[in-house]
A and B are shown apart, each in its own frame.
Chain A
Amino acid sequence: MLTVVVVSVIKALIVIGMVLNLAGILGWVERKGSALIQDRIGANRAAIFGFAGAGLVNTLLADPIKFLTKEDVIPRGVDRLLHTLAPCVALFPAIVAFAAVPFGDRLRIGDMVVNLQAVEIDVGVLFLLAMTSLGVYGVVLGGWASNNRLSLLGGIRGSAQMISYELAMGLAVVAVVLTYGSLDFQEIVRRQGHMIGGWIPAWGILYQPLAFLLLLIAGIAETKRAPFDLPEGESEIVSGYFTEYSGIKYLMFFMTDFVEIAVVSAVVTTFFFGGWQVPFLASEGFVFPWGWSVPLPHVVVVLLQVAAYMVKVFIFCCLQVLVRWTMPRLRYDQLMWFGWKVMLPLGLANLVVTALVLLWIQG
């Protein structure tokens, strides 16, 4: 009992540390990446003893300290309780959702078997969908509590956008669940472990390419970033639902964005790119189809898997940063048209075709 609690605490701390650090590093990737795309230098001013570390000092140390020591302005007309609650409601489900995704296989320490998944439940997919759906409350509460027309517009825009794209996301996930017949993330990842013909990893993208596209696009829409950044729309409504936020609360909304990017990347990785699976790596070490094999100790295998998961997640995070800085913003009618009239029918068609193919395979 006590060991279970201790192990759970350690795993949860690992995942929280992972996602917070990832959010910090993504802040740097985003600033430097946007600078690269826009032919600028980007963050390079803050330095410790003359060491600026290509802007890393800026984003990892100077920015958080500045956010922490800024005044938390609460305008007169706002609903004070909801105004404080909104950033918490936004950040909480994002981090918890990330915790539901497994970051490695089972780790054996002596007699104990540790399942490397912080929220260790067998209906992880449902848990994840429930948590990502809660994200909309942060947006709508922030927009409503601020008592500002621009915030309110951002809030209702955001909620309508998020619920519209949640449908396509849900349908894409149903198709994946149909393929693997399980709601357990670990089970889904394990099913992607073998090789097709000994050479090609049996990752989900080979079975569900359309669901991958739908999930990625809907995921980017859920994170409210360009080309779907209408809730923030800085050229029209200042900063959307967090116009009236400053200091640490602003940072919390800002972090929510990055954590949500990490969640989308983690889910895409888990469903379509084998999660923690490393090609040719079995539980005893590498086994290559041309006959070589490299036996490895258990701990090294698990560490390699965790590293593979993190690398895959990071690649998808970078892809989303790239998408954000290279795409123009959609118009609101285009956004709704795309969500309801393209993504939703495509998701339904994908589902029916998947079911038909599965029946055909079963005979």
Chain B
Amino acid sequence: MEQSISVLVTFLLVGTLVAIMVSIGWLLGPRTETPAKGEAFECGNPPSGSAWGRFPVKFYMTAIIFIIFDVEVVFLYPWAVLFDRLGWFGFVEMLIFLTVLGVGLLYVWQKGALEWD
């Protein structure tokens, strides 16, 4: 209970602070509209259409590979906390798990999914 209260209180206070910061700028700053000000900034060139289009697929692949290894790391936390009690059995179990994912990393590496040019 005390734990949730401290989390909740911190969230509320920081949330209020952030909200105040955003609205204070809106209240204090001047507001004028000019055609040039509303344009997207592309180093002075007239903007060439919307930016909401395609972007390199490499970023997407990085995200997918990240998910796999991040879940791996998540599984490691409970194991690390209980390591004293699990002993050699837990170590070997986790070694098998890490080996499987290590092979996965090697595969991704060999396939060139981690190469950027």
Give the number of A-B contacts (CB < 8 Å).
203
* Bound form: Cα–Cα A71–B62 in Å: 37
**B114 x A337 contact (CB < 8 A):** yes
Give the distance in Å from the alpha carbon of A321 to the alpha carbon of B40 in the complex. 31
Q: Flag if A174 contacts B76 (CB, 8 Å).
A: yes
CB atoms of A174 and B80 under 8 A apart: yes
Contacts of A8 in B (CB 8 A): 5-6, 9-10
Which of B13, B50, B70, B84 makes the CB contact (< 8 A) with A16? Answer: B13
Given A5-B9, A76-B39: A163 and B70 interface contact (C-beta under 8 Å): yes
Contact B114 A336 (CB under 8 A): yes
Within 8 A of A (CB), among B19-53: 19, 21-22, 24-26, 28-32, 37-43, 47, 50-52
- CB neighbours of A356 from chain B (8 A): 91
Which residue of A91, A95, A171 is within 8 Å of B73 (Cβ)?
Answer: A171
A244 within 8 A of B: yes
- Would you call B26 and A88 a contact (CB within 8 A)? no
Given A174-B77, A359-B91, check contact A244 B83 (CB 8 Å): no
Do most interface residues of chain B lie in helix, strand or loop, or is the interface mixed? helix
- Highest count of chain A CB atoms <10 Å: which of B2, B5, B9, B102: B9
Q: Is there contact, CB below 8 Å, between B81 and A177?
A: yes
Closest to B88 in A: A359
A91 with B116, Cβ < 8 A, contacts A8-B5, A247-B25, A249-B25 known: no
The answer to whether B73 and A167 touch across the interface, beta carbons within 8 angstroms, is: yes
Overall SS of chain A's interface: helix
- Give the segment of A40-48, A51-59, A113-121, A193-201 that binds chain B: A113-121
Q: Is the CB of A69 within 8 A of B28?
A: yes
B73-117 interface mask toward A, CB cutoff 8 Å, 1 = contact, 0 = none? 110110011011001100100110010001001000100001111
Contact between A76 and B22, CB atoms less than 8 A apart:
no
- Indicate with 1 or 0, residue by residue over A67-78, a CB within 8 angstroms of chain B CB atoms: 111111101110
Residues of chain B within 8 A (CB-CB) of A337 are: 114, 116
A163–B14 touching, CB < 8 Å: no
Judge whether B5 and A75 touch: CB under 8 Å. Answer: no
Whole-angstrom distance between the Cβ of A211 and the nearest chain B Cβ = 12
In Å, the complex CA distance between A351 and B75 comes to: 13
A167 and B66 in contact (CB under 8 A), knowing A16-B13, A91-B18, A118-B10?
yes
Interchain CB contact under 8 A, A148 and B41: yes
Q: Which 5 A-B pairs have the closest CB atoms?
A: A248-B25, A333-B116, A170-B73, A76-B38, A8-B9
Q: Which residues of B contact A (CB under 8 A)?
A: 2-3, 5-7, 9-11, 13-15, 17-19, 21-22, 24-26, 28-32, 37-43, 47, 50-52, 55-56, 58-59, 62-63, 66, 69-70, 73-74, 76-77, 80-81, 83-84, 87-88, 91, 94-95, 98, 102, 105, 109, 114-117
Sample of 27 A–B contacts (CB below 8 Å): A4-B2, A5-B5, A12-B9, A12-B13, A12-B14, A13-B13, A68-B24, A69-B28, A69-B30, A75-B37, A75-B41, A88-B22, A95-B14, A121-B6, A148-B41, A152-B51, A164-B62, A167-B66, A171-B73, A171-B76, A177-B80, A181-B81, A182-B81, A247-B29, A248-B24, A337-B116, A344-B69
